[in-house]
Structure 1
Amino acid sequence: MTHDQAAHQAVDDILADQLTLMTLLAESAPASQVLAVAESIAKRASTESARGRLREQTLRVKDLLDRRARRDRDLSALFDTAKDLASLKDLTAILTAIAARCRELLGTDLAYLSLIDESGTETSIRVTDGTVSPLLQHLRLPLDVGVGGAVALTGMSHQSSDYLGDERLGHNDDVDSAVAAEGIRAILGVPLKVSGNLIGILFAAQRAPRTFAAEEVEMLSSLATLAALAIEKTQLIDRSREALVEVEGAHAVALEHQAAIDRSAAAHDLFTAIIFRGGGLEELATALHDVLGIPAVILDADGHVLASVGFHDHPRDLPAVPPRDPDAGIPATAREGAWTVIPIDAVHDRLGALALLHPELLSDVNGRIAARAATVAALLLFWRRSVAETSDRDRSAFLVDVVSRPAGVESDRPRPAAFANLPDGGAWHVYAIRSEAPERRLLAALTRQLSTNHMMHVRYADELIVAFWSPDRTVAASDLAPRLSDELGDDVTIGEATSPSGLGGLRGAYDEATVCLKTLVTLGRRRTGADRARLGVAGLLLSESRDLASFVTDRLGPVLEYDRRRGTDLILTLDAYFRAGRSLAETAQTLHVHPNTVTQRLARIDQLLGAGWRDSASALDVQLSLLIHTVIEGLDTT
């Protein structure tokens, strides 16, 4: 090979080695390979100094390229982290992702993140990654202890290559115990800041001594910046969501309040309309039920139902009407079982109560609506009482005039307006009542039992005189007196009579009723009632008319009518039965019939007169009626 050719070959070899060197540098090849090629080139240098400079520059280029490659990887990792954090909405998920990425980027054994609490005096570890002991999880870190304390004090990153032996840092037993349990030696902490304010600390830790490079500190600081922004975004979203919930809640409250106002206004309009058109308690109870949707009942002062609505049947297990406390102010609503009870008061009198069947306490709005209904009920009851008292005075004056005039003298007083449309010949009944029960309660109970609005009453000569009109007398005094006695808890004794000629015959009916009452009292038959017919012999003796034929008809009328229609002679059997001392055998012998025939005839008489005719008192009336009937029949045939 010529000299020129050898020179050219040497140049080519150098160029080839340089190309190989640049390729290795570009591919981030290991330093040993780069140095091997660099040595090959350096051997051709003319001096040792040139060869040294070549090796030095080669290593500098290698290091620069490595750092740039690492920075590119770090930036790529940070970019990926930013994308991942942006997709997360939950704070815990974000914190967990940050800790995992921190451990991945720095290649540490574990990572954890703490946030400053509301007091600003300590942080609490929120998430960990790579821990093996539970002591570190949820540990509270005072701001003057450890690496975290140094970060909080300076606002800058801080590290310790061997934490437990680092006397520069503050220590406490809880933190040191947790660090020892994890086997942690080296710790790096960087601040999490939002708008310059420290909100937490991000930690990377190693279970072996380690000094973190500046690039690693910078990387973790960059990650902390991204983490702080993600945390701030999440907290802003959470606060926005909470604010939205508050706004929606306030809106819902406003709507509910407006609905309550609308319902209250609707109830007010309904109640006012009832007052103006003179409606009653049933209409009020129905309106209240329409507004509240709750079964309601209005009670009088004695606890009796005046109106009810919303019940499948009659309301049961009714609450008691609370007694009125004269020293109390506004009547208080009370709970009794499932009932809400609102007193109904007028001036100084308790008129009754409004009771609502509801398992829970009424809301404020519903409570005010119910209280307003109770006020309207008080107005209606008071108005009804006032009208009734005015009408009662008119009726009582008429009745006083009737009963105080001598018998046979017609009253010249005009009949009460309330009775203007009643037929003059209607069925007027008179009760003479003696009882120690309060008159108001007695009249209220009597009104309920009689189911009539056409009634007048007056206290006269120590008795309560009641006259009422009814198309048919549905309740006899004999049934009414014990009922009223039981209800009022006091003896109620009633004498009864019927006016044969409407209002014009009230005086005679009054006289007869008072005679019946006095007879019952004289005979000691309290807590009962009777008309003249039911008094039997006593009624006949006390009667001024001594109407014997009517007495016989009252006692034996059904038997006499049966004999007349059927052509039988049961009256003869009845007479023979008493003459034989109620002996069936002797009666049969007297009538020349079999005893079974007598038994059958007596059974028929039971059907006609009622089974009670054989009792001692009734039997006497029947025997006397038989005697009078025989005498009258004898007189008629002579």
Structure 2
Amino acid sequence: MPTDSQIDAEAAEQVMTLLELLASGAPVAQIAAAPAPAAARDLALRITQTREVHQQREAGLAALLDTARELSTADDPGEVLDAIVRRARRLLSTDLAYLTLYDPEAGDTFMRATDGSVSAAFQSVRLALGAGLGGLVASTRKPYWTADYWSDERFRHTSAIDGAVGEEGIIAICGTPLIVESHFVGVLFAANRSSRPFTREEVALLGNLATLAAVTLVQTRALADAENALAALSEAHETVRQYAAGIEKAAAAHDRFASLVLHGGGVDDITHALAELLGGWAVLVDEAGERRSSAGPAPDPDDSGRGPFERLDALPGLASGRLVERDGIYAVAVTAARERLGTIYVGSVGALGDSDHRTLERAGVVTALVMLFERQAADARQSARNRLVSDLVAARGSTEERMQLAGAAGFDARRPFCLLVIRGDSPSGHRALLISASAASGPGALVGSHDGDVVALVPDDESDDAASLAKAVAARIGKRTCVTVAGVGPISDLARIPSAHEEGARTVSALIALGHRGIGAAATQLGFAGLIVGSDPDVDAYVQRLLGPLLDYDARRGTDLVGTLAAYFAAGSSPRHAAGTLHVHVNTVSQRLERISALLGETWQQPDDALELQLALRLRALQAPR
């Protein structure tokens, strides 16, 4: 029988083997087959799976950038469409890919480009809106996918479409719409000749490619239209010269924006480039109303953080994707797939010509692309933080493992910290609430999602207690949306996080139930309710907070105001009956009650305050030695 030391040595050797496999980038199957302690293997599998997800996302982003480079060199719409379907088939590793374009006159979509197709009937099919998977994508402007088209009853099957699909041998299909500034352009498909489930990551990747493709297609069409217009106006030399100058300026702006994106530039670079091109100031505001970037002498924001130019938000044209202007300030919405990502404002530019309009609109499209990439990366990071916060709250794994994971995420768990439970009014705004909570909690905080609430672990800087911190965070986020925040701490041990979270969750529920929605507080501020929801109620502090002024007065003066208060409540708030109990004149009781009012404030006889005082008197009586 092996000894304990032999078992420990064998386990250590197995863990080292796991670490070597992780370092070599071994796949999940090899990690799962390696002999090792269950806890170590589970952690290694989680790390490997997270690494593979990140690698897949990085590969997808790299492929999209390669696609952007390829499309940026194409100036013919036909070349653009062929490049799109070619890239879609390669990215999703499917048997074929194809693209249909919308025909506004016929009210349907027609096959425009294919890669991997072998059927002539399939290559010439037209899809009515609402018919088949592609028709449903076109009519709803939402992505749809199926592992088995023939058994999927969500789609309206027609003989023409089913015949073409059958001749091509297609079984699994994924389709996503091409939309630019709320205009439907067409549908991009990836398909397989065998049953295949499409993952959400693959659907998202195809959607990002469709967005990029739609933008490039519209741009190449616009460039082709511009060239045709120049040819038609060749006899009007001056008009042609001015128009050509505008086109050249817009093309130069496009080249500059494209160069910024391809060289890893961000929204700050785009905003500064736009201000230089138009000769004024430019501001980018995100979907939450926060300034993301500013260039030039832009107006300062007011106390709420909003700029005076944001009154343009009320203009109906902006929501529909059009460039709007008021009082010399221009605005264009930054949108992708019908979602508003932000708004670009420019001013001090005088009257903008057509080319400047196109430059501003193009800046909005390029900014949307950059923000989509940034959002994907931010969502991946936030997903990892959500898992870490959930692990800390549920105490999954050993303390050492949790400490290491927290440190890797940039959170120093060795320092005291406070725990906040943040609950919003709108479940649909959970992602925006996470972003706002991260900004409001400050640097060094770890913010994630758990059980529908946002949980923040905020380093304790010794200047604020948990109650003050909760109040400050609620006020910061409350400028945009109503949130209720409960604070617990400070905490100096990871093992206390689960119980602290339970107290925070009970406290935030109590705040809402007591009609205090929209504020921040700790359990100690809830009066007797805090004794119920708190994980470690401090009865002495509660009694001292309510009766302290009377106790201190009695100790200094040798009086018994506390006894008078107890007799007064016991007598049903009757000074005469209390005087009989105390064996003093009723005027003496009245004088003592006046003194109590001076020490406790005039509201001590109000129902809520009187209830708290009576509970404090009862608790003090229970604490008294017998």
Task: Report the TM-score when normalising by structure 2.
Answer: 0.46
- Flag the structure with larger Rg: 1
TM-score normalised by the chain length of structure 1:
0.45
